Amino acid sequence: MIRSIRTLLAAGCTTVLLASAPAFAAEPQTSAGMTAVSDGAAAPGIQGEAIANMMDAGEKIIELAGAVPPNKWGWRPGKGVRSIGEVYLHVVQGNYFLCSFLGAKPPLPPEELKKLETAPQTPASMVKHLRDSYAFVSKTILELPESDLESPVTFFGRPTTKRGVLLLLAAHSHEHLGQSIAYARMNKVVPPWTAREQAMAKQKAAAANEGHGH
């Protein structure tokens, strides 16, 4: 199922992003948009659950992108496979692309979004693209009326609903979080949240040993 999602996203980004979509009034997002994302996670119903599930992975992807050295972004496990940096930008494209099925128009021009995956990035721009895309997704989900969740959507010839698209948004982030963790580990980068847990465990062990010494 996840492989089919990845294939459909790769095949369809160009077509759908270049097509016009019914638009929400897209507002420019900045890193401050993450506050809105966090607030949205507390929203009731499936919208809030979808945001919380998605951002459980999304916040880790954002943090990992800030931790992997830029000189490793070009690393790829094999020929023809996305590099570390391309995976992050593919997540951005996927976030915007899937929102088009919810009636939202991506804030980036179609041609820019189409080429985004291979565009050179600085650490700041990479993280900003990720933050902005997740803020946009969260805003789109929050503005989706609950009465519209069962509206039918055709996703590359497959019938689903807007509720189904919410599930795809979360699944896509979790898929590429796992991929990104594996890529980071292969380049000797410990995910920041794991590094914090390990540091806390060492502090507790040291405190316990010091207590026994007294």
What is the predicted pLDDT for the residue at 206?
83
Please tell me the distance from the alpha carbon of residue 107 to that of residue 29, in angstroms, as a whole number: 9
Per-domain residue ranges of the chain: 2-213
DSSP state of 66: H
pLDDT in tens, 128-173: 999 999 999 999 999 999 999 999 999 989 999 999 999 999 999 9
What is the predicted pLDDT for the residue at 207?
82
pLDDT in tens, 78-101: 999 999 999 999 999 999 999 999
What is the predicted pLDDT for the residue at 205?
86
- Between 87 and 43, where is the model more confident? 87
pLDDT in tens, 182-212: 999 999 999 999 999 999 998 888 888 776 6
What would the CATH number be for the domain defined by 2-213?
A: 1.20.120.450
pLDDT, the chain, mean: 84
Please tell me the distance from the alpha carbon of residue 112 to that of residue 169, in angstroms, as a whole number: 21
Contacts of residue 196, defined as CB under 8 A and 6 or more positions apart, other chains included, come to none
Residue 32 has pLDDT above 50, yes or no: no
Residue from 186, 168, 190 nearest 60 by CA: 190
**Helix (H/G/I), strand (E/B), else coil: 143:** coil
Residue from 91, 141, 109, 94 nearest 20 by CA: 109
